[in-house]
Structure 1
Amino acid sequence: MDMRVGSRCNIIGEAKMMKDGNIFRVVQANCWDPEVRLKEMDQTGVTVQVLSTVPVMFSYWAKPQDTLDFARFLNDDLAATVKKHPKRFVGLGTIPMQCPELAVQEMHRCIKELGFPGIQIGSHINQWDLNSKELHPVYAAAEELNCSIFVHPWDMELGGRMSKYWLPWLVGMPAETTTAICCMVLGGIFEKFPKLKVCFAHGGGAFPYTIGRIDHGFKVRPDLCAIDNTTAPYSYLGKFYTDSLVHDPLALKFLVDVIGKDNVVLGSDYPFPLGEQIPGQLIESMEDFDQKLKETILAGNALTFLGLDRTQFE
């Protein structure tokens, strides 16, 4: 992801992200300086990065017009970075999802004017889950524009119950992503919008490992689970993507088995602490994966998801 942080600096190459006058997070220059990022990419063998804004800057809580103005600023900045390094960076835009009309407007600009292949959205939009009918115009526009959607968890405090042990990031994020997938699947989003291309971050949270429970619940309590969609959850495996960021070889093998070898893309969460410090290292280490499968996950699936051609980066 790529961002510009307007905050006070202690030292060169370091910045503080502020929230309500308090330090939220200290970030390094690789969060905003493409030259630093390129140097680190070369050091770790990364040819191309897909950049998106950090989710805490979605600003869905703000006035819609203010969020649109901020999104345009972020997207313009991202487009300038991609334009300067077109063979190294790809951009995913951010849009004011709390106002679908403005979101569609900015999506059009991202795809048609800025040349992005897709957008990044949060795992929910304030009080709306991703199956909410209010968001249907956004999905319809994404189908029309062939706009890929990357879903990243955010706002995962869960009423303050996760104030200790870094639980929002360790537990809250997987829970948010799992909820997002369930809402789209059980809410019939992939039935209503069959051409929609969606990828979920962090290995799809807990969804791949609880699909049996989810599908069983769908069958035994259709009065609760099948109220918006009568197609079983298992039917949707292979119809959406997840990234590979699971930090464990057994989990990665299971993820590929469940989600499908053509539906897992390399995820790094670079440059943050929970990311893979050498992107793709776990994939490369997998003895159960042949070289073709490794290459598919490392690059091929992402190209397909984003509708890009490898020759664009040669």
Structure 2
Amino acid sequence: MKVIAIEEHMLPRDILASAGIDLGLRAGKRAAQLDDVGEGRLRIMDEAGIDVQVLSALSYFVQDLEPEQSVPLHRGLNDRLASAVAEHPYRFRAFAALPMTDTAKAVDELTRCVDELGFVGAMIHGQTNGVFLDDRSVRPILAAAARLDVPIYLHPAPAPLVVQEAYFSGLAPEVAACLSTSGWGWHAECGMHVLRMVAAGVFEELPDLKVIVGHMGEGLPFHLDRIESMLNPVVTGHTLSIAETLRRNLYLTTSGYNTDAPLLCALSAFGVDHIMFSVDHPFGDSARATSYLRSAPVDAGDREKIAHGNAESLLRI
């Protein structure tokens, strides 16, 4: 069975150092693995039975930078991603990293990455300096993705500082760092971000825009019926309901989730055609993820869709 993993991170240490950025408590422990887009990564893929990784820069560390620093830095990240793909064209593809503090330059960079470098979409890490993707100022970026017919992978990122202070202060630093990110906060933040986009009419204006979220849907499958019954009555004037919009425009990946209950919930809420395999390398265990994929309670045809078929269709791999 062919396996394509599509939330697989990298971050070159030299580019990070040039920007004066510290990876912090959690990602800092994975610096060497994030930096490796060569033999070490390929060995992990081979041992786990992963044929292709779609690489993405873990760029929330630099997404908030001012344009004069952000634009060349993101171009450098994308050039490095392109080099990795060129060196191993049958093993890697890439999502573009975008300089979100300069909308026009972000559109240019997305266009360059897709048209010239062959990237399969872009990854955006949450809000940028408090600006979410429903804001009119970033609509040209989303319109460019729709025009280019590539998806935006919306990855979680730390909440605005005021939220972090309110929710996560008073805890031990390592506990706060985890609880505010992968331990809970990221998933609530990202699910809410998607709902902002729906409620604000982004998908009404751009019905062909495709958005991917990881971590088995960032809680949205579990809450979908409640969202539909509570939020839908107050979001008026749309051609589709909240749930209908999500089922049309949103795609989910399995990144970091390797048990039956979340998978079955996602399948029930969104259907197999909108679910794709991911590991969340290097934060997820590739061997564990593929082992679960092969034993998950789905039939052979659905397993093939999740493993590679849906990614091949959406990303044109």
Higher relative contact order, structure no. (Cα contacts within 8 Å, ≥ 6 residues apart): 2
- TM superposition shift of 1:24: 6.3
Does residue 46 of structure 1 match 2:56? no
Shift of the 101–230 alpha-carbon distance from structure 1 to 2, 3 Å rule, reads: same
User: Hey, what does 2:3 align to over in structure 1?
Assistant: none
Work out which of the residue numbers 116, 120, 124 in structure 2 matches 1:117.
Answer: 120
**What residue identity is the alignment partner of 2:293?**
I
- For residues 91-112 of structure 1, the C-alpha deviation after alignment (integer angstroms, 9 at most, x for no partner) is 1110111221111011111111
Which of 256, 265, 281 pairs up with 1:270? 281
Query: Is residue 51–residue 89 contact of structure 1 (8 Å, CA) maintained in 2?
Result: yes
**How far apart are the structure 2 equivalents of 1:154 and 1:145?**
25
- For residues 208 and 286 of structure 1, the distance between their equivalents in structure 2, rounded to whole angstroms, comes to 18
- Shift in Å, 1:236: 1.9
Computed over aligned residues only, the root mean square deviation of the Cα atoms, in angstroms, reads 2.4
Question: Does the 8 A contact of 1:97 with 1:125 survive in 2?
Answer: yes
Structure with the higher helix share, 1 or 2? 2
Residue by residue, what CA displacement relative to the aligned partner does 1:127-164 show, whole Å, maximum 9, x if unpaired? 21221111111111111112221110001363232254
Percent of pairs identical after alignment? 29
Determine helix, strand or coil for the equivalent of 1:98. Answer: coil
Instruction: Give yes or no for the alignment of 1:104 onto 2:107.
Output: yes
The CA deviation at 1:190 is 1.4
Q: Which residue of 2 aligns with 1:159?
A: 164
Stretches of structure 1 lacking an aligned partner (at least 5 in a row): 10-16, 309-314
Q: For the structure 1 residues 80 and 8, does the alpha-carbon distance in structure 2 shift closer, same or farther, using more than 3 Å as the test?
A: closer
Whole-angstrom CA distance in 2 between matches of 1:247 and 1:76 = 33
Q: Which runs of 4+ in 1 moved over 4 A?
A: 20-24, 227-230, 274-277
| Residue number in structure 2 paired with 1:303 | 312
Hey, what does 2:207 align to over in structure 1?
A: 194
Task: Give the counterpart letter for 2:179 in structure 1.
Answer: L
**Residues of 2 paired with 1:141 and 1:46: CA distance?**
31
* Structure 2 letter corresponding to 1:265: M
Change (3 A) 1:167 1:211: same
Change over 3 Å in CA distance of 1:67–1:42 after alignment to 2: same
Q: Which stretch has the larger CA shift, 258-267 or 158-167?
A: 158-167
Scaled by the length of structure 2, the TM-score of the pair is: 0.85
Gaps of 5+ in 2: 1-8
| Aligned equivalents of 2:23, 2:53: Cα separation in 1 | 32
- TM-score w.r.t. length of structure 1: 0.86
**Local SS of the residue matching 1:114:** coil
What is the identity, as a one-letter code, of the residue corresponding to 1:80? S
The change in CA–CA distance for 1:206 and 1:113 in structure 2 (over 3 A counts) is same
Separation of aligned partners in 2, 1:30 and 1:86:
20
Residue type at the aligned position of 2:270: I
Q: Structure 1 134/228 Cα, relative in aligned 2: closer, same or farther at 3 Å?
A: farther
Alignment of 1:63-142 (within 5 A): 63-142=66-145
